[in-house]
Amino acid sequence: MEKPEAPKERVEALLQDKLEDGSVRCNVCQRRCTVPAGGRGWCKTRLNSEGKLYSLTYGKVSSVSINPIEKKPVYHFLPGSQWLSLGSLGCNFRCPGCQNFGIAHMTGPVNTFYASPQDLVDYAKKNSCIGISWTFNEPTLWFEYTLDGARLAKEGGLFTNYVTNGYITEESLSLIAPYLDVYRVDVKAFSSEGYGKVANAPDFEGILSVTEKAKDLGIHVEVVTNLIPGLNDDAGQLSGIASWIAKRLGEDTPWHVTGFHPQFKLSHVRPTPPSSIQRALAAGEGAGLRYVYVGNVPGHPRQNTFCASCRALLIERYVMDITKNRMKDGACPECKETVFGKFSY
Ligand code: SF4
């Protein structure tokens, strides 16, 4: 992809309410900031200039790569397919263990380049990608750009994927839903206290309800919980997440429990021990979830997909590579049980 300089101009923000005193309410994410004249929102990527809110990151790309969809991780939507992944700047959370804190928390200067929505589609096609993932930083933050990109992607026959912390508002999701195929959402904890610790987020119920809406709208949903020792890996929170998935999203919904790598402000915390992973697997089984995966533990047998009915091995993985795929027409080759997800197009 060519890397022209990012444009200086700003783009008028969607979903803003003008208030009487010149401030503006932003309704793109659940923080719903009231931004005073001349000020920026909590995320720093939205500016109130003379009573109008502008996005400052439209088309500003900080990171780009091409990977299999397994890297997100998404395991039940066209396994093994290549996707264009890209991210920008900023976040509406402040996770102390953030894997991408440089771009998400903007802790120092970050190089960006400009790519138009059409550039994304062209680049994805040129590189044999079947879809575009907005990832690396929270995609809601450059909502206007992802919406334009998703529209063009669908027109161009590509699939689309949000890798999100789920703090998007229902209004934003409603706008982008017609152009969104996959919603890969983090559920980081199952209490306000837990969310405060792992994300510095004020609440979490809205994350659950918007995810349920995504499911209701027919978007493919997969859930990830990164297990951070002592913060979110107790049996109560894990059971809460697993039960909510089973009851509100469905027992077929994949749940990825991933190992934590100590870094950033949690570099003193130990990596996820096997006992935490076992607790999460037990919570998933107790809730009746049919597809629970273990991530960030190379060689772990629960990277693989097993038939939920006869337990036959269906897809064997190593990290993000598929090493064997025995599925036949979206079903188990042994007992013919249909597997949840999309396996052909
Ligand atoms: S996107 Fe969220 S954090 Fe940023 S200004 Fe809007 S409501 Fe605030």
User: What's the rounded mean pLDDT across residues 72-97?
Assistant: 96
User: What's the rounded mean pLDDT across residues 188-207?
Assistant: 94
H/E segment holding residue 207 = helix 205-216
Residues 212 and 239 in one domain: yes
Asked if residue 106 has pLDDT above 70, the reply is yes
Confidence of residue 7 (pLDDT cuts 50, 70, 90): low
Residues 224 and 323 in one domain: no
Give residue 6's pLDDT: 55
Indicate if ligand 1 lies below 6 Å from the C-beta of 92. Answer: yes
Could you tell me if residue 6 is inside a domain?
Answer: no
Backbone angles phi, psi at 155, to 5 degrees: -60, -35
Give residue 108's pLDDT: 80
Give residue 215's pLDDT: 98
Q: How far apart are CA 157 and CA 137, in angstroms?
A: 25
The overall average pLDDT reported for the chain is 95
Q: How many domains does the chain have?
A: 3
Ligand 1 pocket test, candidate residues 45, 58, 171, most atoms within 8 A of CB: 45
Residues 31 and 109 in one domain: no
Could you tell me if residue 2 is inside a domain?
Answer: no
Q: Which domain holds residue 110?
A: 60-311
Indicate if ligand 1 lies below 6 Å from the C-beta of 32. Answer: yes
Residues 128 and 157 in one domain: yes
Residues 291 and 225 in one domain: yes
Residues 155 and 266 in one domain: yes
Residues 50 and 164 in one domain: no
3-state class (DSSP) for residue 110: coil
Indicate if ligand 1 lies below 6 Å from the C-beta of 46. Answer: yes
Give residue 8's pLDDT: 55
Could you tell me if residue 186 is inside a domain?
Answer: yes
Give residue 109's pLDDT: 83
Could you tell me if residue 5 is inside a domain?
Answer: no
Q: Which residue has the higher pLDDT, 139 or 104?
A: 139
Q: Dump pLDDT digits (tens) for 227-266.
A: 999 999 999 999 999 999 999 999 999 999 999 999 999 9
Could you tell me if residue 101 is inside a domain?
Answer: yes
Pick the closest to residue 85 from 70, 101, 107, 105 (CA basis): 70
Asked if residue 46 has pLDDT above 70, the reply is yes
User: What's the rounded mean pLDDT across residues 158-177?
Assistant: 98
Residues 241 and 301 in one domain: yes
Pick the closest to residue 61 from 130, 176, 127, 149 (CA basis): 149
Q: Dump pLDDT digits (tens) for 281-298.
A: 999 999 999 999 999 999
Confidence of residue 341 (pLDDT cuts 50, 70, 90): very high
User: What's the rounded mean pLDDT across residues 204-211?
Assistant: 97
Q: How far apart are CA 213 and CA 172, in angstroms?
A: 12
Q: Dump pLDDT digits (tens) for 109-135.
A: 889 999 999 999 999 999 999 999 999
Asked if residue 4 has pLDDT above 70, the reply is no
CATH number of the domain enclosing 64: 3.20.20.70
Give residue 34's pLDDT: 98
For residue 18, give every residue at least 6 positions away whose Cβ sits within 8 Å of its Cβ, in sequence order, or none.
24, 51, 52
Confidence of residue 63 (pLDDT cuts 50, 70, 90): very high
Indicate if ligand 1 lies below 6 Å from the C-beta of 40. Answer: no
Residues 64 and 31 in one domain: no
C-alpha of residue 32 to centroid of ligand 1, in Å: 6
Residues 251 and 148 in one domain: yes
Q: How far apart are CA 253 and CA 215, in angstroms?
A: 10
Confidence of residue 166 (pLDDT cuts 50, 70, 90): very high
For residue 301, give every residue at least 6 positions away whose Cβ sits within 8 Å of its Cβ, in sequence order, or none.
none
Report DSSP letters for 156-174, one per residue.
TT-EEEEEE-S-B-HHHHH
Asked if residue 320 has pLDDT above 70, the reply is yes
Indicate if ligand 1 lies below 6 Å from the C-beta of 201. Answer: no
Asked if residue 3 has pLDDT above 90, the reply is no
Confidence of residue 158 (pLDDT cuts 50, 70, 90): very high
Could you tell me if residue 120 is inside a domain?
Answer: yes
Residues 24 and 159 in one domain: no
Give residue 2's pLDDT: 58
For residue 224, give every residue at least 6 positions away whose Cβ sits within 8 Å of its Cβ, in sequence order, or none.
73, 184, 185, 186, 187, 255, 256, 257, 258, 295
Q: What are the distances in angstroms from CA 125 to CA 1, 83, 129, 165, 312?
A: 12, 10, 6, 27, 35
Give residue 104's pLDDT: 87
Residues 263 and 191 in one domain: yes
Could you tell me if residue 4 is inside a domain?
Answer: no
Indicate if ligand 1 lies below 6 Å from the C-beta of 43. Answer: yes
User: What's the rounded mean pLDDT across residues 170-185?
Assistant: 98
Could you tell me if residue 324 is inside a domain?
Answer: yes
